[in-house]
Structure 1
Amino acid sequence: MVALQDLREIPLFADLSELRLQWLQANLEDMRVEAGAVLRNEGETFRGFFVILDGEIVASRLIDGQQMPVRRYVAPGFCGAVPLLAGTPSLTTLKAESDSHLVRLSEPVLRELLACSDSFSKIIFRATAERLTNLEALLRTREKMAALGKLAAGLAHELNNPAAALARTTDRANEVREALDESLHALSLSSIPHEAIELIHALSARACAKARQAPGDDPARAAAESRLGDWLAAHGVEKPWLVAPGLIAGGIVRDDIAALGESLAPHQFNVSIRWLGATIELHALLKDATGSATHISDMVKALKAYAYMDQAPQQEVDIHDGIEDTLAIMRHRLIQSVAVRREYDRSLPRLQAYGSELNQVWTNIVDNAVDAMEGRGDLVISTRREGDYAVVEFTDSGPGIPPEIQSRLFEPFFTTKPVGQGTGLGLDIAYRIVVNRHGGTILVSSQPGATTFHIRLPLPAQAIAR
């Protein structure tokens, strides 16, 4: 049993009378736990308030599959008042960081102390308010960092594909350039008639204009390459399996080069076709390299626009540009099976707003929509003007939100996702940005197959006057 002297030294119990201390001593549970012991898991409803006499307790939350510490309690501290008094599941997991000595108070004992001791109740409520504020601030920061991490991972994937393609293309282009040099040298020594040179040049000009590397899993293209390769082999062309793909990429078929095969000697036809194939393939590779580089450049531009880099926090923004930048950044989430339909009113005036924060709103809503649809469905984004407000609506084709929880969607920490898959702050952050930062409103309406988030943002005074 805990000694009365030990209880007297706890600040919580400093003003309790001797009789009340004796009552407390008789109604508490003395606990000694080893390091690593879990006192309470996140999501559990546990009837207990802990006072730490010796040792250290860590509170953590499961975020994206990892236990993230949010607070440490050291002797003579206490924890567990909020879920006990509110009768709600615990927001955190409590775990002993070291061998610890605790006392556990039941709910009736805690309520009795709150009623009889003014000092006890003030300490409890002051500390509880401070901890909740700190926890909320910490989790908001982590929610933003987690969202940023997801965007960064998606961007890395989006940039990796064209970057890898660019590297492969340039490697192949160097090989083709060497082959082109060899075939050009052989061509210069082959004494090909002027008329044949003109025909080869015309074929090259025509084919290079349309040449493009195509996916290797196209059966029709593979069959065409095989047929042309067989024909080239029969006419003495070396390594026809390497030449035929370039010719097919440029739209050249057997009929286009049959006259050359008949009018030229086998060695002349061989070097002519090798030069023609290498020229077309090199042009196709350069086009692909340009496409990959352009995609990378576009992604970087979208990222800069999304974050409003090198710009003041508040500026005139076109909400459509912000939405499009957001969709570009989130392409990795949408590209597989989410069809996005835009119904924009492009006549909407520009808004005076915190552009990067509004983009965070669009990100959170789109991300939730994709999760609700399990990555497959339709997302409709519409804009219009209603009086003095610009209205933005996001409608997804997911299963809908039950009516009984719709009113709680914007509450901090409220989430319909399993423990560890969401902090319940994404929509709360969106609410604060729209309502508190921009003086707008954000509402939700939902039924199976159509959940819509309605955002209203005030138009600037000059736009209202028109």
Structure 2
Amino acid sequence: MSDIAQFIGMLESGPEASDEFASYAKLLMEKYTSPETLFAARAAADAYIELKRSRERTAYLEVLLKDAESRSCENVYAARSVMIRQEKLAALGQLASGIAHELNNPIGFVAGNFEALKSYSISVWSYIEALEKAAGKEKAAGLRAKYKIDNILQDTKDIFTESADGFKRVTGIVNNLLAFARIDGGSFKTGSLNSSVQTTAAIVSGQAKFVAVIELILGDVPDFEFNAGEINQVLLNLILNSVQALKGQKRETAGRVTVRTWTEDGMAVCSVEDDGPGISAENMLRVFDPFFTTKPVGEGTGLGLNISYDIVAHRHKGAFDVESEPGRTLFTFRLPLGREV
């Protein structure tokens, strides 16, 4: 087990209260992290602290929502909007430690390559200085062999190539996270549903590793007006629910999550299908109910699908359907290409 994986395991056993956990995480970093893993360890600790704070805020907001029946419709909607943001933050917190681990690998070899470049540059400059003092080609050739200049020049080219690839991977991970997490302030803007699917699938890929293969079958869907931040949240809830259902089966081989997009009758359509355990008949009637969850205590608020339904059906004037049987679950949502909100 790697140092950072062991560190994350120790974080998971920490106290629930965010203030106590912050002190606990700080103590762990001082005792058990090395300089090479400090960046990833700090990112993971910050993610867990934010997740615990989000759970505390969510618990508080759950109490507010239960008392909201006596409030005006305007106040209820305001509380619900806050809950949407809190649920999104909690989901990001769960993913952040995995993303930090994914970042650690490319950053590690980039840092190692540039350390090698530093060492090589010293040898190159020593060679040049020696050449200035050398007389004759024969001695210069001897110095070239002594300092292994030919090997260094070839290795330098390879190192720059590897480093460029590493920076590209890091930039891609960060950009996908930022694209998913952007806050649109409730605005509807012209955008691409396929881009939202690709961004969200990339974000979930760290959680799906060794559990599920995420397959994207994207049709020719034109750009249209929708709230990208909210639809990203819907996609995250659906894909992550499928991955977690497959993970709960503890299968020997990876399952499959298939995300499709197409257009139909003036609607942009997206479906998320998995080959997991399915949803029981009694639970099918409650999947969109607030606070309903089959997950263990502390692993789900029961608000993900309820919020997703609200975003699609009420905010976007669309439709949401679910089908399930043993070995197959299919969620489908439809958004109007010509919006009237």
Q: Do the two structures share a fold, i.e. TM-score over 0.5?
A: yes
Separation in 2 of the partners of 1:144 and 1:175?
45
Contact 1:187/1:275 (<8 A) preserved: no
Contact 1:187/1:271 (<8 A) preserved: no
What percentage of residue pairs aligned between the two structures are identical?
30
Task: Go from structure 1 to structure 2 and tell me whether the alpha carbon gap of 1:181 and 1:127 turns closer, same or farther (over 3 Å shift).
Answer: closer
Task: Go from structure 1 to structure 2 and tell me whether the alpha carbon gap of 1:352 and 1:315 turns closer, same or farther (over 3 Å shift).
Answer: same
User: What amino acid maps onto 1:351 in structure 2?
Assistant: F
The reply to whether residue 129 of structure 1 matches residue 89 of structure 2 is no
Which of 171, 179, 188 pairs up with 1:314? 188
Contact 1:439/1:458 (<8 A) preserved: yes
User: What amino acid maps onto 2:315 in structure 1?
Assistant: R
Shift of 1:334: 2.7
Which of 208, 213, 234 pairs up with 1:361? 234
Within-5 A mapping of 1:363-402: 363-374=236-247, 376-402=254-280
Question: Which residue of structure 2 aligns with residue 4 of structure 1?
Answer: none
Contact 1:400/1:446 (<8 A) preserved: yes
Partner SS state of residue 243, structure 2: helix
- Larger relative helix fraction: 2
Larger Rg: 1
What whole-Å deviation, never above 9, does each CA across 1:416-435 have from its counterpart, x for those lacking one?
A: 10122111001111111111
Contact 2:211/2:247 (<8 A) preserved: no
Shift of 1:65: 11
Question: Which residue of structure 1 aligns with residue 90 of structure 2?
Answer: 146
Question: Which residue of structure 1 aligns with residue 34 of structure 2?
Answer: none
Which of 194, 202, 209 pairs up with 1:328? 202
Contact 2:322/2:332 (<8 A) preserved: yes
Separation in 2 of the partners of 1:431 and 1:408?
12
- Larger relative strand fraction: 1
Shift of 1:296: 2.3
The reply to whether residue 279 of structure 1 matches residue 153 of structure 2 is yes
Separation in 1 of the partners of 2:331 and 2:206?
22
Separation in 1 of the partners of 2:326 and 2:121?
58
Contact 1:412/1:428 (<8 A) preserved: yes
Question: Which residue of structure 2 aligns with residue 419 of structure 1?
Answer: 297
Contact 2:184/2:227 (<8 A) preserved: no
Separation in 1 of the partners of 2:67 and 2:204?
40
Question: Which residue of structure 1 aligns with residue 311 of structure 2?
Answer: 433
Task: Go from structure 1 to structure 2 and tell me whether the alpha carbon gap of 1:392 and 1:297 turns closer, same or farther (over 3 Å shift).
Answer: same
- Segments of structure 2 that go 5 or more residues without pairing to the other structure are 1-50, 249-253
Separation in 1 of the partners of 2:228 and 2:53?
31
User: What amino acid maps onto 2:292 in structure 1?
Assistant: F
Separation in 2 of the partners of 1:169 and 1:178?
15
Task: Go from structure 1 to structure 2 and tell me whether the alpha carbon gap of 1:65 and 1:307 turns closer, same or farther (over 3 Å shift).
Answer: closer
Separation in 2 of the partners of 1:353 and 1:139?
20
Shift of 1:328: 2.1
Within-5 A mapping of 1:67-466: 68=56, 70=59, 129-130=69-70, 137=80, 140-183=84-127, 189=134, 191=137, 270-271=145-146, 274-308=148-182, 313-346=187-220, 348-374=221-247, 376-460=254-338
Separation in 2 of the partners of 1:372 and 1:65?
25
Question: Which residue of structure 2 aligns with residue 96 of structure 1?
Answer: none
Task: Go from structure 1 to structure 2 and tell me whether the alpha carbon gap of 1:186 and 1:398 turns closer, same or farther (over 3 Å shift).
Answer: farther
Separation in 2 of the partners of 1:311 and 1:298?
24
Shift of 1:393: 0.8
| Count of aligned residue pairs for this structure pair | 275
Partner SS state of residue 170, structure 2: helix
Question: Which residue of structure 2 aligns with residue 214 of structure 1?
Answer: none
Task: Go from structure 1 to structure 2 and tell me whether the alpha carbon gap of 1:192 and 1:323 turns closer, same or farther (over 3 Å shift).
Answer: farther
Separation in 2 of the partners of 1:67 and 1:369?
22
Contact 2:190/2:224 (<8 A) preserved: yes
TM superposition score normalised by structure 2: 0.69
Question: Which residue of structure 2 aligns with residue 243 of structure 1?
Answer: none
Shift of 1:187: 7.5
- Segments of structure 1 that go 5 or more residues without pairing to the other structure are 1-62, 73-90, 93-125, 198-266, 462-466
Shift of 1:366: 1.0
